[in-house]
Structures are given as structure tokens and as C-alpha cells.
Amino acid sequence: MQSLGLMEGWPVPAAAGAVVRADGELVGAFGPTGQRFALASVTKPLAAYAVLVAYEEGAVELDEAAGPEGATVRHLLAHTSGLAFDEHRVMAEPGGRRLYSNAGFEVLADHVAKATEIPFGEYLRQAVLEPLGMVDTSLEGNASPAKDGVSTVDDLVRFAAEVQAPRLLDPRTVAEAMTVQFPGTKGVLPGYGHQNPNDWGLGFEIRDAKSPHWTGSSSSPRTFGHFGQTGTFLWIDPDARWSDGRGAGAACVALTDRAFGPWAVEVWPKLTDAVLAEL
């Protein structure tokens, strides 16, 4: 895809990207797609997928108690547990505010590890990474399941294809993950300010009508995904239409090695709009 060539002009030391259809066909790639990049918060969708596998295996329930008093696995996945951003400190009642929380995902991973009796990084490997052939993706040792994953574009393309056409999970579970949890909840989208509502699914951020936003002006409201502070993003637009008539659905992955900042706010939406225009 010619649109991915826009990444050539990004002010970053290294960048790689790709676009994949809902049927798993890779339709475009740019840069060193086999290079491992720090994912930052793009780790969260991978961790969330592992939690959903644990749910389907019966190890946990979405509405069982987990984290602060009154909170559940669902609250933790949807950033409504009330935990602070990077501290295991309660700042709100569960379900009342959308408080984006790395700590919440760490509590969530501990909960799953206890339920499965498997360290979370190993459970992620067994439940998601290994079955999808994501051999260059890892969450090592005591690394945070909120932000310390490492991966490649090649591997994230496999994950994006899985989310669009699930094999590891029941499609109904994935549909729930991309459905707004606790509708109408206000909150801050890191890097983009207060959003009302600040919609989120189960581990995936949902675009809806948010403005400003890191996706494009032509992204559908149902677009979901995540971006990371290491200059990374993954979005999936289930309503993206292909001009060849082969249905809907597309995903885009972009990984860089420069911290998120004004440069990303400027170039990411332009890339997204160019990709969607080229479908």
C-alpha cells in the first residue's frame, strides 16, 4: 500500500507498519517488520486477550470480584476499577469514572495468575502468543502486563487477524470486548485530554465520537485498539470497506522507537486516513 510510505517521513529513528484484512490477508507493509519494538500500552490488548481466554476456560468470570472492594474483572479490563494510573491506590468507586490504570492491569494479571496457578507472562505465552505463532513477542519475568511487552509488526499482524476472525476465542466474546463497557463514563484519554464519554471495551479503547483522537477523521465510530507511549499503535476498523468488494474490516499496526508526543498527534491520523482512503 502506497499510503504506508508516509511512515518514511516520520521523525523517528525506526518505524515499521502493516495493514491486514479481516480475512488475515496482509495487503501492505513498511520497514523492518521483523524488528522487535517496545510496545508500551499496546501490551494491554494482548494481556486482555489472555484474560478472555482464562474466562472461556472457566478460570475466571468477568463479573467476579477482583481488585479494590466492589470491583470486578470487568472493571479492571475497562479501566473503571477506581485504581490510580500507576499506583495501587483507590481514587474512585468502581464504575464511576474511567480512570486509565496500569495498576489495574497489574492487579488483573495477578488475579489470573492466582486462578490459573501460572505466572501471567507464561499464561499469555501459552494462551495467545504460541497458538498464533507470535514467536518474537514476549512479556518476560516480572514485566508489567500493562506496558512492558515487546513485539514485531509481523507478530501483531497475526494478532490483528485473530481479533478480526477469532480462532482462540468465541466470536461472541470478542464482540463483547469491542462493546462499550459502563456506557457514559467520563475520563481522560492519555495524551488527548478529557473525553465525555471516554468509551472502552474489555482491554480495547473504542473510538466512538472522541475528539481529538489518535485514529483518523475517517475512522468509523466502531474502530477499536490501543496506542502506546513508545510511539506504537494498533487499530481495527470493522466497518472499513474494501473497493474490490471483498467485505469489510481492516487493521493497521505501526511501531516506532520514539516516545509519543506532538509528532505522533500530527502524523498518526494522516496515516490512518490515507490507509482508509486506499482500501
Q: List, as one string, the DSSP characters of 210-237.
A: -SS-SS-TTS-TT-EEEEETTTEEEEEE
Averaged pLDDT for residues 183-202? 96
Averaged pLDDT for residues 214-234? 98
CB atoms near residue 141 (< 10 Å): 8
Q: What torsion, rounded to 10 degrees, do the Cα atoms 20, 137, 109, 200 define?
A: -20
Looking at domain 2-278, which CATH architecture does it have?
Answer: 3-Layer(aba) Sandwich (3.40)
Q: What is the pLDDT of residues 138-183, one digit of tens each?
A: 998 889 999 999 999 999 999 999 999 999 999 999 999 999 999 9
Question: What integer pLDDT is reported at residue 267 of this predicted model?
Answer: 98
Query: For the chain, what is the mean pLDDT?
Result: 97
Residues pairing with 193 in the sheet: 189
Residue 63 CA: distances (Å) to CA of 12, 55, 72, 93, 197: 42, 10, 5, 16, 22
Confidence of residue 202 (pLDDT cuts 50, 70, 90): very high
Q: Which three cell numbers stand for residue 129?
A: 502468543
22 touches 250 (CB < 8 A): yes
pTM over 0.95: yes
First to last CA, the chain: 9
114 touches 105 (CB < 8 A): no
Judge whether residue 193 has pLDDT over 90.
Answer: yes
